[in-house]
Amino acid sequence: MVTPVAVTGAAWSTALGHGLDDVWRRLLAGEHGFVPVDSPHRLRNTLAAVIPSHGEAPASRLRRLAVETLGRALAEAKLEAGGARTRLVLGTSLGAWLDDAHEQEAPLHTWADDVARAVGARAAPVALSTACSSGADAIMVGAELIRAGAADVCLCGGVDVLTPSKRLAHSALSTMSPTRSRAFDVRHDGMLLGEGAGFLVLESMAHARERSAPVFALFRGAGSANDAASMTSPDPAATGARLAMERSLQDAGVAPGDIGLVNAHGSATPANDRAEAESFRAVFKTGPLPCVFATKGAFGHTLGATGAMEAIALILALREGVVPPIAGLEQPDEDFPCPLPVGCPVRHDERLGLSLTLGFGGFDTSLVFEVPR
């Protein structure tokens, strides 16, 4: 029997703020966090979704965002990080590594060690980096540690910061939009970067019940795959994304038709949007089609944090019975196989949802969550 895993806390830091309910209201209103941000380089677009930093260096900002967000997730779960069977699983893409000489001289996991010490964790953290799927992979690994009996509580998710190198790289790769983020729109021409953090408190159901903890949601399953098609582009046939979703559904013990909502990666690059459309067409080929939404048009692409932030948005959408509109989406691609929320929130009574995250290098991760009705 698979050990049930409960979500007993969640927190995020976003360009729209950091209160779960406050940010959710702004998402439902269709707001976005993009503002002009100076750059030492010539870019395709100077817009980015940033969190006020008061001049902090990227390495300090990365650690502060992680510590503050973890602290709020723990407070909501009414837990501390120092439990003997509590583990941290922290993801980022490259964090501040590209832009900070001190980070480059230290082991890649130094930032995670610093965060673990700051929040009072007793055990060494698990640090991982799987490009833009890092936050989702951290949640998957945390859940597996609990299922395997290696931990009772896992604090897991991702954090990433906007840096000059990342902006220049995405501009040079032409994955950065010269206009604005418009996922699944006929005018989609790329993504805009952001920064943020998102963490879940996962707990074995037995541990949660023992301390009478309120259950935010249930983690039902996860799946991952790697399509190995390109360093920077998804497989056009979306084989990896399809496999990740199918594996997560099998792990959760549910059928495609049971999924009512999907939080897509939705990066708004034409290649990514086409690949996701193909993957949804393949997985949801029979039965009712899920409503697909996305949040990068509001938060920006937060790279290593995005999978965790999208998981939180999915859980809120399931819990609140409403899906926010996709910011920037005005003219949906008629070939997209699933319904999309355009211009206004969409009410629903679904209880099962899936969050799909794709990363450079072919990383594909799918998470399934449930909220009771």
What amino acid positions are annotated as catalytic residues? Answer: 132, 265, 301
Tell which residue, 86, 196, 182, has the closest CA to residue 135: 196
Q: What is the dihedral of CA 183, 186, 190, 193, to 10 degrees?
A: -30
Q: CA 86 to CA 88: how far, in whole Å? A: 7
CA distances from 222 to 98, 135, 205, 296, 352 (A): 30, 13, 17, 22, 13
Q: CA 198 to CA 200: how far, in whole Å? A: 7
Tell which residue, 93, 30, 70, has the closest CA to residue 357: 93
Tell which residue, 31, 27, 25, 106, has the closest CA to residue 62: 106
Cβ neighbours, 10 Å, residue 346: 18
Contacts of 352 (CB under 8 A, 6+ apart): 220, 252, 254, 258, 259, 260, 261, 318, 368, 369, 370
Both tokens assigned to 301: 């692409």
- β-sheet bridge partners, residue 269: none
Q: Are strands 346-347 and 322-323 parallel, antiparallel or unpaired?
A: antiparallel
Q: Are 161 and 62 in contact (CB under 8 A)?
A: yes
Tell which residue, 311, 133, 292, has the closest CA to residue 219: 311
Per DSSP, which regions of 265-362 are E strands? 291-293, 322-323, 346-347, 352-359
Tell which residue, 222, 27, 74, 68, has the closest CA to residue 140: 222
